Structure 1
């Protein structure tokens, strides 16, 4: 027997707990902690706890924007020791990001040293780098010591920290945020601060303004790295209305002339959060994999600014087509999601729209104004109390001096004689002799009058909602001036454009290396593509019991259309066909083809061509070849047939007449115009049979006559006057074939 796990004393302190309930409670508390204290930003100041603590710690350390820098290790130590009980590296990573001008639209920390770069290189260790606050961070913290916000105890209950920052800057939308909590996530792209201030001012003027109204001011995201947003206004509006959506952002590029008719493409702005070095590696991999046949080389000539050079294969390459293929295959185009999931009033996680986010920020700014005003009012009242006491002392100076010199308890006597408060009496007793100058009395009277006027103004402000909003608007107007679009930091970096309309087929072809191949299909439905164009198919090998059904030349950029006996059409990219080393692969693996169907024919897709389809009982119609192209594995049903009937023939349409031959060796010729053109259907009767079905069909021009090949390989041709007895209307029985027509009943 092993050692008993029950402790001595019978295990009285062991408590049975329901595992399910315990897990639910613990996971719920973990989820709440992640949502509230880690992943989601507060709508009021746009910050997560770690960023708020970093900014507050820097403020407490006196690291103002006009002051000196301090080692990041010291800042991290201060944050970790006083406010944030987590790893130093996670705090330093957050601090580094606040200082990166390519990660944050309006940096909150100003870094000195290596803080990483757009290539994805990490920052130097915290012992080497230094940092301080920026003017943006100072705006966020403005009024923190004037009872602007609530404070709570820190984790060790030795200090206190702000629950939220006063937030005079619209940080949530201006700098954005990303985070993954438990069961929810947030993703907010950065925006232009001047535009946000304009929208906020519009919301103050018209509180019922809709998201549509606000989009007259907020054009869309404004990424620190620039780029071009190519979404429609409708799409952008829908994203901001619902709080969910996304933005397609492309790199900004232009064409540079290299002389002699040549050119190169230069990328000057990257999509947000795309690492340049990784992007170049990806493009190089695509070049090696021969997926970018229009591109010859990629070079990084970046210094301070981004300069990515793309060299085309030849001067005839269309630059728009080349860039469209790159946008499809690389991160030169990326999608930035929008998920405005934030903590409403710091407590409730919810997805908001643009108007709701700005309204909550404005409500917070008004509350901060009220709290700061009340704090100032209390300070003024305290000071006025002292000043009024001093004035009484000056007016009765001799009596005050007498009381102080002669009375045993001068404080009580002063209070009794002049009806002073305890605070006033204490202040008089603590007054210095030098303060008894006449000049000092005048200054006190002046300060008293000034403070009295200020007190009246604050009381008027606190009693009037209109004045409060007027003051909030004035504060926001000052921020608007500081970060106007005329300033270097405030100018809009991301532009908007319509995506150029390009031919999708041309783009797809531009992504495939054009090489000659021969497509081979066997009787049992195996397909492969051999390199080059073959002239002799006799050397092809197949599995036992299998043989060649058909083979034809093509190129890797072509689409291969496969038409089955069930009347279905399937499309395969020639570049995706299995190679010619083995026997290929069954077509049924590549497409969803029914077991009771077989391949009738296959050919290279020609969008300009039309086809004549015919089924075994002799029904048929004309179809444009573009209708046969199917974008899915399921294919497209073109000809409606049901067993035992099958699709029997598929021939290109040409000329002006149709010759049909039945299994009964009767031939009928009728005008092509009598056949309907359809995209799908059963078709119309081509030739009438008592029994049997159709054998062959051919389209021809009557002027040139009808041609066929006999069993000996000789060509026969009959002109119009020799075909008179077979010419009739569609759906007739026809007459027996002319002499010399092959016994097979086929035209070739």
Structure 2
């Protein structure tokens, strides 16, 4: 190493600066965030464009790919944009170009595309080598006068070319076409609007700068989506325009048509903005298959290039209003979240409607001013030349003689300047004049042109000196754009008359709900089952599959809110109409989407929440003879996954539930035919997590079958039904009151003929009861047809049960319900 070359290790670093790493990371992230915000994701309030869209349009402008030219390959446009102005991948550039060509994405497409540019079904556009594009006529309005120094330019990414920082924008494109984008820590979502309405509002604000948002909404009714549809309610629109943020409900356009055989069909002709039509159809089909939407027999998409047409055919028995409501709740309405965020002087701001238009007017004012200054300078230059020509024509002989006597053009120019007082520009122009321009006719034309140029100078000077004149130009140009491109509003605004819930449209009807061991569930109208005489076989009520069996049948009203208690001590809340209605012979639908039951968990008791009053108790009995009372208030706000109703010991199950008021007697019956009656006060009230207290002493092998609540004045009888279809009625007065936790009295003989007891119910002679067998046979019988006998008797045949079948469940229809059903 030379002695003159210093050792690098001895050189003191003079540019190293110590900084805290968290400060450096913070600043670097802020720089990155601002780069994304200003250079990629957010539109400029002045022309409504993001950099990529602006660069695409400017590249097409420079290529001459205007609306009057032939289409060019999209790959050519993408390549020019990427190579000269937008140093990013070709894919995002092409995606931006495609969106500007989609008439279902842009209210007024800025690109005229030829080829496959995607569809509302989410189909992607063809590759850029297969599609062609050119500027749409309205896009040229964004670039009008760009060559007249109307906007600022900046160096492109490699300092080789100049690109515009913003376009002149002859109309408020930000509102007209909208915009959406996600930046760092912020996002924008601006809906499109009708061009004519926005221009009218802009002119209103020019004429009346004190105009309010309400005044501007006299012109801008609301967003106008390219896919049409309906906006529900005006309050959300006002909020969005007033604050810059809002949530607008957009509803599909549909109508109900009367179809063949008296059936209806729902035809959807417009879908909410940005909704994938194919996925919409798919989701409706999934809900139909899952039983969430009932009454649809066919669904098909008949859409073509002329528009959207989705046909939903209904069953003859379908309630059209219910189906409509279900579709609206889940599929045909979407919320468009308005975030009117745009760049103002390079900084992101959430703008109101008025502020957005004010920023555009300010931009347009600057454009017209700079254009007028540019045109004025050119007009003054032209007037100066014309003045020189007119002066030369007045002394044409002297001018010609001087030029002919000069040795060259430079000498001629100098002579004209020194001899006759022409300016350098005038002298240069006169030297270049042709001999033919010295005719008298040419002189007349020059005088005419000079007068026109002087009129133009006067006009431009007035624009620059008179603010009202300048704004008049802006208004005239806006009206010219409106006259050329305005069209009818596509999106209607309908009044929000309040939400009609699904429940409001469900007719009140008494139904039977059937559930099987494998958790299949369905509901059927009680009216499907007329009363039969005692001892019949019944009719098919459920087609159970092999290995499955019916476990529960209970009566409810479609509008009832039910507490569903299971054998494992859980309780769930259920709306009766949520269970799908099906035919008698149907198996039912899986209950997994209705009740979140665990394996082996079965419904054992149903309580109507309407039965709850002040100081009401839920009284529960378990298979092992435990009794428990819990205040009804503890069963409010039940989770979808259920809550604990009672804690059970191993091997025990919850059997039955009654609603009591603290003054009742409780009658517990067992499978072995024993009963015990005691005052409910003997079982103190406990919390949900308690096990309860002993209610009855069970003989070996016996188990509790049911629970009935009664009192001294109860004129009902105790109906006892056994597995083999036998039963009896005994006056409740025959069951004397005992102390809790006794062996009880014999209620019915459970010999080989009868089999064990299945259920105990309290009935009047006019009540009807529903019996259902494990194999799905169902029978409705008047209670009065069952003989009233004493305790410790055999009973009579109630239902003719097959040898391999058994009564699974019994429920009572009160006389008042029977009257309603028969009517």
Q: 5 Å matches for 1:317-466?
A: 317-330=318-331, 332-345=332-345, 347-407=346-406, 409-466=411-468
**Counterparts in 2 of 1:40 and 1:433: CA distance versus 1, 3 Å:** same
Distance 1:710 1:52 in 2: 83
Distance 1:581 1:553 in 2: 21
Residue 264 of structure 1 aligns to a residue in which SS?
Answer: strand
Name the structure 1 match of 2:177: 175
Distance 1:508 1:25 in 2: 58
Name the structure 1 match of 2:752: none
Whether 1:583 aligns to 2:608 is: no
Give the Å deviation of 1:182. 0.8
Give the Å deviation of 1:459. 0.8
Contact 1:710 1:742 in 2 (8 A): no
Contact 2:595 2:641 in 1 (8 A): no
Give the Å deviation of 1:287. 2.7
Distance 1:580 1:116 in 2: 45
Name the structure 2 match of 1:743: 738
Give the Å deviation of 1:508. 9.8
Name the structure 2 match of 1:117: 119
Contact 2:55 2:86 in 1 (8 A): yes
Distance 1:581 1:43 in 2: 57
Name the structure 1 match of 2:779: none
Out of 88, 94, 97, the position equivalent to 1:95 is 97
Residue 84 of structure 1 aligns to a residue in which SS?
Answer: coil
Give the Å deviation of 1:416. 2.0
Name the structure 1 match of 2:693: none
TM-score, normalization by structure 2: 0.68
Name the structure 1 match of 2:503: 506
Give the Å deviation of 1:64. 2.2
Name the structure 2 match of 1:206: 208
Q: 5 Å matches for 1:240-639?
A: 240-304=241-305, 305-312=307-314, 314-330=315-331, 332-345=332-345, 347-407=346-406, 409-484=411-486, 490-498=487-495, 503-506=500-503, 516-518=513-515, 531=521, 553=554, 559-561=561-563, 571-572=573-574, 575=591, 582-584=599-601, 603-605=606-608, 611=613, 613-614=615-616, 630=637
Residue 125 of structure 1 aligns to a residue in which SS?
Answer: coil
Contact 1:240 1:354 in 2 (8 A): yes
Name the structure 2 match of 1:143: 145
Give the Å deviation of 1:519. 9.4
Out of 132, 135, 138, the position equivalent to 2:134 is 132
Give the Å deviation of 1:22. 3.1
Contact 2:287 2:293 in 1 (8 A): yes
Give the Å deviation of 1:190. 0.8
Contact 1:325 1:508 in 2 (8 A): no
Contact 1:614 1:650 in 2 (8 A): no
Distance 2:598 2:165 in 1: 69
| Equivalent residue pairs, number | 619
Distance 2:574 2:179 in 1: 43
Give the Å deviation of 1:662. 11
Name the structure 1 match of 2:36: 34
Distance 2:118 2:243 in 1: 35
* 1:628-658 deviations in Å (ceiling 9; x for gaps): 874757999xxxxxxxxxxxx96489xxxx9
Name the structure 2 match of 1:544: none
Contact 1:39 1:48 in 2 (8 A): yes
**Counterparts in 2 of 1:98 and 1:531: CA distance versus 1, 3 Å:** closer
* 1:364-422 deviations in Å (ceiling 9; x for gaps): 11111111111100000100111111111111111112222235633222112222211
Distance 2:512 2:173 in 1: 54
**Counterparts in 2 of 1:126 and 1:515: CA distance versus 1, 3 Å:** farther
**Counterparts in 2 of 1:366 and 1:502: CA distance versus 1, 3 Å:** closer
Give the Å deviation of 1:613. 3.8
**Counterparts in 2 of 1:267 and 1:500: CA distance versus 1, 3 Å:** farther
**Counterparts in 2 of 1:491 and 1:436: CA distance versus 1, 3 Å:** same
Residue 259 of structure 2 aligns to a residue in which SS?
Answer: strand
Residue 182 of structure 1 aligns to a residue in which SS?
Answer: coil
**Counterparts in 2 of 1:634 and 1:206: CA distance versus 1, 3 Å:** farther
Contact 2:326 2:502 in 1 (8 A): no
Give the Å deviation of 1:171. 0.8
**Counterparts in 2 of 1:555 and 1:52: CA distance versus 1, 3 Å:** farther
Give the Å deviation of 1:483. 2.9
The CA RMSD measured in Å over matched residues stands at 4.1
Distance 2:711 2:381 in 1: 106
**Counterparts in 2 of 1:532 and 1:356: CA distance versus 1, 3 Å:** closer
Contact 2:45 2:174 in 1 (8 A): yes
* 1:570-599 deviations in Å (ceiling 9; x for gaps): 7345755657783339x9xxxxxxxxxxxx
Give the Å deviation of 1:297. 2.5
Contact 1:325 1:507 in 2 (8 A): no
Residue 260 of structure 1 aligns to a residue in which SS?
Answer: helix
Distance 2:97 2:340 in 1: 23
The answer for unaligned runs of 5 or more in structure 1 is 1-7, 485-489, 521-527, 536-549, 588-600, 617-624, 637-648, 669-694, 719-738
**Counterparts in 2 of 1:11 and 1:297: CA distance versus 1, 3 Å:** farther
Contact 1:227 1:493 in 2 (8 A): yes
Give the Å deviation of 1:283. 2.2
Name the structure 2 match of 1:84: 86
Name the structure 2 match of 1:159: 161
* 1:194-218 deviations in Å (ceiling 9; x for gaps): 1101111111121111112111111
Give the Å deviation of 1:697. 7.1
Name the structure 2 match of 1:728: none
Residue 145 of structure 1 aligns to a residue in which SS?
Answer: helix
Contact 2:138 2:485 in 1 (8 A): no
Distance 1:244 1:368 in 2: 29
**Counterparts in 2 of 1:707 and 1:261: CA distance versus 1, 3 Å:** closer
Residue 335 of structure 2 aligns to a residue in which SS?
Answer: strand
Give the Å deviation of 1:251. 1.4
Distance 2:450 2:90 in 1: 51
Contact 2:416 2:427 in 1 (8 A): yes
Distance 2:633 2:442 in 1: 98
The answer for unaligned runs of 5 or more in structure 2 is 1-6, 524-536, 538-550, 580-590, 619-631, 644-656, 668-676, 681-706, 721-726, 745-760, 763-823
Distance 2:439 2:302 in 1: 73
Distance 2:512 2:617 in 1: 36
Residue 363 of structure 1 aligns to a residue in which SS?
Answer: helix
